[in-house]
Amino acid sequence: MSTLTRDDIEIATRAADQFTRLYYSTYDSPTRVIDLPKFYRPSSAITWNGNPFAGADAVRDLLNETPITKHEVQCFDCHPIPGGQPPNLLVTVSGTVTYGNPANPTVPSNNSAKSKNVDGQPRVFSQTFVLVPDSSAVPAKTSEVAKYYISADALRFVG
């Protein structure tokens, strides 16, 4: 098994940076039903709070029944997984997510009321991805070493 180089690490880091930014901004966007499944392939395995799904189409179905979201990524990390070249990537993300519209405009704004209601507060989420290079995809740009997709995605509300 080849040793990972500093270049591998550098590329993995950049990929995670780019991926988390793109993934969650897409998730929170009005066009998510069309755009988010593009990160997946038919073989992708997904769990959403313990509910299993398979493939990009299932992601679309899941999104169709999911309220609007607002994610805040507070912490993420990424490793190149030893073994392949280009390597698979393990990405973990920790942050908060708010579902639905937290502010009910018909309620007179009462700060203490809002802040005391746990149900209206952002949840802590933990999401882990395995990103895998798509050997069949031709990189769109010369500077791309590979095109990656989400092979595994496990999400849980954890707080």
Partner 1 sequence: MDRDERMREVQDKPGGRKGSSRIRTHRQRPIDNYKDQAAGSSRVSMVNIASSSEPLSIRGASRPTAAGRIRRNAVSLNTSKVPGMPATSTAVVGVKATDQWREYVRSRYNRETRFLNLERMLDDPIVQKYNLLVPGVPGSSGKETAAMFKLAAQLRPPVQTLSLANNHIQSGKDISSVGMFLPKLANLSLANNQLKTMDDIRLLTREKNKLDFLRELVLTGNPIKGNDPANAEQYRRDIVKRFPALEMLDNEPIVKVGFDAPTPHANPSHRLTPIPTTNSFARPMSPSFVMGVDGGLVSEFLTRFFTLFDTQRSELLDVYHPAATFSFSANTSIPPRARIQGLHSTLPNQKNLKWDIWLGGGNGGSRNLSRVGNVDKMAQSLHLGRENVVQSILGLPKTKHDISGAPSGFCLDGWLTGSTLFVTVHGQFTEEPVNALRSFDRSFVLAPAADDSRAKMKGWTVEILSDQLTVRAYSSSDAWTPGPMVVQPIVASKDSQPPNLEAALASIPEPQRAQVARLCQQTGLNVNFAVDCLQQNGWDHERAVGNFEQVKVRVNCFRGFCRIRPCGELRHSAGRSSGLNLCVYLMMLTYLT
CA–CA dist 145, 131 (Å, integer): 14
28 lies in the binding site for partner 1 (CB under 8 A): no
Taking the least distance from each CB to partner 1, the nearer of 57 and 102 is 102
Size of the site for partner 1 (CB under 8 A): 106
Which residue in the set 42, 64, 111, 135 belongs to the binding site for partner 1 (CB under 8 A)? 64
CA–CA dist 84, 105 (Å, integer): 52
CA–CA dist 56, 74 (Å, integer): 26
Cis ω on the peptide bond leading into residue 86 (within 30° of 0)? yes
Span 108-137, contacts to partner 1 by CB under 8 A: 108, 110, 112-113, 115-124, 126, 128, 130-133, 137
Q: How far is the CB of 58 from partner 1 (least distance, A)?
A: 12
142 lies in the binding site for partner 1 (CB under 8 A): yes
CA–CA dist 3, 6 (Å, integer): 10
Query: Within a 10 A sphere around the Cβ of 83, how many other Cβ atoms?
Result: 10
86 lies in the binding site for partner 1 (CB under 8 A): yes
151 lies in the binding site for partner 1 (CB under 8 A): yes
Q: How far is the CB of 93 from partner 1 (least distance, A)?
A: 9
